[in-house]
Amino acid sequence: MKVALALGALAIGSSTAYAGGPVTPAPEPVVMAPAAPAPAGIDWTGFYAGGQYENLTGGGSLTPPGLALDLDGNVAGVFAGYRRDFGRLVVGGELDYVKGDFTWSGGALLPTDLDVDSMLRVGPEVGFDLGRVLIYGTAGYAKIDITNPAVSQSDSSSGYFYGIGADVLVGNRVTVGVEVLRHKFDDFGGPLAISNTVVEPTTAGLNIAIRF
C-alpha cells in the first residue's frame, strides 16, 4: 500500500512538471551603448591678428590732361580683427595697415615710382562658415598716403574699398587666407590735386593670422 501511494505521488508530480513545461530564465536586459558625440564644429569667434602681402595693380585717371593711369606694385603690412560665429553666419570687423610702393604710368606720363607711405583700411566682414573654411565679403573706409621720392612731394586721399576673401584654419589657432580688394581714392589735396584725379588700385594678397 505504501509502495502504491509513493508511486502515485511520483506520477502526479511528473505529470505536473510536464504540464508546466521547462522554466525559461528571463532574458538579460539589453544595454544600448551611448551614441558617439557629433564632432565639434569650428567656432570662428574671437580675436585674431597677422601679416599680409599684396600685389597692387589697377588704374586711374588725371583730368586734365586726360591721362589714363596704370598702377603696378606691392604692399605689405599687418592686420587685426574680431569675429563672432552665429552658426553658418560669421560677422566681424578688421583693421589693416600696409605700406610699399608702386609705379604710376600711362599715355604721355613717364613711369613714376611712388612710395605708399601707408594705406589704412577698416570695415565690417560678413562670412559663411564652411567648417575649416570661411568665405567672406568686406567693404569699408580706406585712406592712402603716397610720396614721390624724386621730388619729395607727398599727398593723401580718403576713399573706400570692397572685396572678397577666404580663410582656412590649419591647426587650432593658425589661419591662412587669400583676399582681393578694389579701392577708390579721388580727393587728393596736395600736389596730385589736379581736377578729378582718380586712383583705383586693386590688391590681391596672401595672409597668415593667429587666433586668440
Model pLDDT, residue 6:
43
pTM of this structure: 0.78
Residue 22 pLDDT: 54
Query: 46-211 adopts what CATH topology?
Result: Porin (2.40.160)
Using the predicted structure, report yes or no on whether residue 163 has a pLDDT greater than 70: yes
**pLDDT class of 119 with cuts at 50, 70, 90:** very high
pLDDT, one tens digit per residue, over 71-111 is: 999 999 999 999 999 999 999 999 999 999 999 887 666 68
Spatial separation of the C-alpha atoms in residues 183 and 163, rounded to whole Å:
9
According to the model, what pLDDT value does residue 8 have? Answer: 47
